[in-house]
Structure 1
Amino acid sequence: MQVSVDTTSPIERRIKVQVPAAEVDEAVAARLKDAAKTVRMDGFRKGKVPMSVIRQRYGRGVRDEVVGEVMRERYVRAISENALNPAGYPQIEADVNEEGKDLEFTATLEIYPEVELSSIEGAEIERPVVEVSETDVDEMIDTLRKQNAGWEAVERPAEDGDQVTIDFQGFLGDEPFEGGSAEGHELVIGSGSFIPGFEEQLIGARAGEDKTIEVTFPEDYQAEQLAGQDATFKVKVQAVKGQALPEVDAEFIEKFGVEDGDLDRFRAEVKQNMIREANQAADNRVKQQVLEALKKANDIPVPQALVQQETEGLKRQAAQQFGLGEDFDVSQLPDELFAEQAKSRVQVGLLLAEVIKTHELDASDDEIRAKVEELAQQYQDPQQVVEYYMANDQMKTQVRSAVLEEKAVDVLLEQANVKDVAMSYQEALAAAQQQGEVADEGEEEAESDEQDEQKQA
């Protein structure tokens, strides 16, 4: 077997392979001979069909089958002998495939880039320092009250945030349009669930009142016959209800796992959860700044095969997030919506894998357990969560990846200029959300770990 490897880009290789004709032809002949033993054909007894007939009838198909197997086997041998680390599957095409001639084929593949890490020395990193105040706790408890609020009828006019029960019918001109009417519909003013401008016109309405509401459908409205159209809605307000916030009493407190209903214990638990959330938001903000600095310092080429794999994963996540169902065909979602994010995640994964490899980072079982115990604190039965994670190899692998990534970020932080910045609880959460950092950490770490293992395979 003759092999030549051409470098067509920093991450692309073109392998040309030549296999002696005798090897292929002998393999084809042997396969045809085996087939002849079982072939049934009119006019011949089983196993007695002449080889000339067998070759004429099945020769092309058998040769294609054998050549496919030979090309795959020789491709694997070629990348092994030349120490190539493929990223994804190759494109293999036969250049010469004729009986009596050497088989020649070309395999084009992407490989993992060779990464020589550049330091992020000089990068400016802001590290939030967050203090959760008693006022923050009061606001959180008010939020919990609103989330558990009921509704009660009020005599006053409707206000923003009230729930109104309405009958309505929509008209284009003087004609009612399909799907534009309902009875007994419960609408929270300010929820944004109706056409822009509709809900605001209900402010000030009283129970029993008739209203005429004029709106314009958005240009991008899903029903094309309504998009951009001026419409009139005739509305009957059946009821106006205001939020009935629950009292912070023992019954309310017990809903949140404080079985004795003690207010001080409840406030302490709420504050502890807020501190944990704030610290996570601060850590995520630091992490994202570090990763951006790492990418900026190391603009490595990214294999398109890995980007496509990541794109498909992001599509599945999006389908799940928007409740499109397990049977939804994610190929309907355009690649362009996810390509930039996919490329960024692949780049970060490759760079973090190199940091972990370069600094010989590892995660012990004790460190994995400590991380699991930290994550489990947000659940009602932390011990049950710990036992589940530690008994599940896949979950442990994800947590191991999270620990390794945290260690890699800590190593990189030592190279940067870190400035502590005081932030309120709300500021820390808003900053983290703005950077898109509120994500499923386990999935992201698992992908990084998987790329690490592939790279070193």
Structure 2
Amino acid sequence: MAVTVEKLEKLERKITLTLPVGDIQTEVDSRLRKLARTVKMDGFRPGKVPMNVVAQRYGYSVHYEVMNDKVGQAFFQAANEAELRVAGQPKITEADGAPEGQVAFDAVFEVYPEVQIGDLAAAEVEKVSSEVTDGAIDKTLEILRKQRRTFAQRPAAEAAQDTDRVTVDFEGKIDGEPFAGGKAEAFQFILGDGQMLKEFEDATRGMKVGESKTFPLSFPADYHGKDVAGKTADFLVTLKKLEAANLPAIDEALVKSLGIAEGTVQALRADIRKNLEREVKFRLLARNKQAAMDALLTKAELDLPKSVVEAEINRMIESARADLKQRGIKDADKAPIPADIFREQAERRVRLGLVVAELVKTNKLEAQPEQLKAHVEELASSYEKPEDVVRWYFSDNRRMAEVEAIVIENNVTEFILAKAKVTDKAVAFDELMGN
């Protein structure tokens, strides 16, 4: 087999392969003979079908299979001999000018790039920190109380106020015409919780049972209902029922209902603190990891293999379709999703993956067994039976591969933060949690 390698542009290469026609035909004949022993055809006993009949029926498909196999083998052998790291699948086409008794093919493909990482000591990273305050615990306690609140009917003379549960009938019209989703009866919501648009809550606040009111409501331009987004509707709302909220006291009964065996408020606050600190730790890690990776990319130079980017885009499109299907969207698997909306994100993922892989290889940052075990145990610690969760992780190679990827990213983050110019910044708990 004669092989030539030609450099096209950037990461693109071309290998020209020539294969002896005789070798191909010998393999085709061998496969047809094997096929003839088992093939079933009308008018013939099994194993007694004449070779010329088998060749006539199956010759083309067998020849196609052999060509694919032989060219594939020849390509990967040639790539290995040339020590090429092939990215993606080659595009193989038949070529002209082959010597007599030979057949020629051109394989055009990409190789993985050389990754150049500059001096990380010159990279700048803002590292954030935060802490769980008593105020954060108080706020969480209030959320827990709200989740267990009860409601009692208010006296008829009282007006609706924040925290009340209101039951209303409403109908909206745009230019005098009703619209989809604009009408409801006996609709309930908690006043002040932000479930309804501000104008709707403002109109309902202060109303009494039996009272009706007409008011204009402007839908935001980015409202999820596209038919009404950016338009103004006139609403008629009638208050049917008004109930005051009753929050449970922070006492032993509440504590025990939350599964705290000790039954003390002190034990509940300690449990809340432990859970919030775990969440804070993961959020800080995620933000600092993002900042470290961003800094790493500023110091990296490489060309991106187009085939790998396209494969990543296709994966993201399939993931988006699967998400639509899970939401019950009809024909989600055929949804027209333009590739360009994922291109920037896919390019970042591929670039980061290649740069991280290079950093891991050159600095021996692979995940160690004890790190994997520690990470799984930490993930499992918030569950009632941590040992069952640990077994669940270790029993599945795919799940452990995900854990390994996270541990490697953590190793890379620590490596970058140890090298870079780090600026420490304290952020408030609410800011970190997105409240």
Sort the TM-score into its range (normalised by shorter chain).
Answer: 0.7 to 0.9
For 2:427 and 2:224, the matched residues in 1 are separated by 42
How big is the shift at 1:34? Answer: 5.6
Q: Over aligned residues, Cα RMSD in angstroms?
A: 3.6
* Matches for 1:284-433 after TM superposition, within 5 Å: 284-315=286-317, 318=320, 323-325=326-328, 328-329=332-333, 332-430=336-434
Q: Deviations over 1:307-355 (max 9, x none)?
A: 3343344445556667425984275333233222222122222211211
Bigger Cα displacement from structure 2, 286-295 vs 303-312: 303-312
1:454 corresponds in structure 2 to none
Q: Deviations over 1:196-216 (max 9, x none)?
A: 743433222222111223335
2:67 corresponds in structure 1 to 67
Q: Which amino acid aligns with 1:363?
A: A
Does the CA contact (< 8 Å) of 1:319 and 1:328 recur in 2? yes
Q: Which amino acid aligns with 2:399?
A: M
Q: Which amino acid aligns with 1:281?
A: R
* Matches for 1:105-120 after TM superposition, within 5 Å: 105-120=105-120
How big is the shift at 1:89? Answer: 2.0
For 1:161 and 1:106, the matched residues in 2 are separated by 72
Change (3 A) 1:320 1:64: closer
Does the CA contact (< 8 Å) of 1:41 and 1:49 recur in 2? no
1:279 corresponds in structure 2 to 281
Change (3 A) 1:318 1:252: farther
Q: Scaled by the length of structure 2, what TM-score is found?
A: 0.84
Bigger Cα displacement from structure 2, 366-375 vs 383-392: 383-392
- Using the aligned pairs only, state the percent identity: 31
Residues 1:137 and 2:137 are matched in the alignment: yes
Q: Which amino acid aligns with 1:395?
A: R
Unmatched 5+ stretches in structure 1: 434-457
How big is the shift at 1:418? Answer: 1.8
* Matches for 1:166-181 after TM superposition, within 5 Å: 166-177=168-179, 179-181=181-183
For 2:317 and 2:19, the matched residues in 1 are separated by 41
How big is the shift at 1:144? Answer: 2.5
How big is the shift at 1:420? Answer: 2.5
Bigger Cα displacement from structure 2, 212-221 vs 246-255: 212-221
Q: Deviations over 1:53-102 (max 9, x none)?
A: 77666554443333222222222222222222222222222235999752
How big is the shift at 1:238? Answer: 0.8
1:268 corresponds in structure 2 to 270
For 1:151 and 1:316, the matched residues in 2 are separated by 45
Change (3 A) 1:293 1:237: same
Change (3 A) 1:183 1:281: same
For 1:294 and 1:27, the matched residues in 2 are separated by 51
How big is the shift at 1:296? Answer: 1.0
For 2:160 and 2:138, the matched residues in 1 are separated by 27
Q: Deviations over 1:93-151 (max 9, x none)?
A: 22359997522112222222222322321222222232322222212222322333343
Change (3 A) 1:45 1:170: closer
Q: Deviations over 1:171-197 (max 9, x none)?
A: 344454455322111134456655674
How big is the shift at 1:294? Answer: 0.6
Unmatched 5+ stretches in structure 2: none
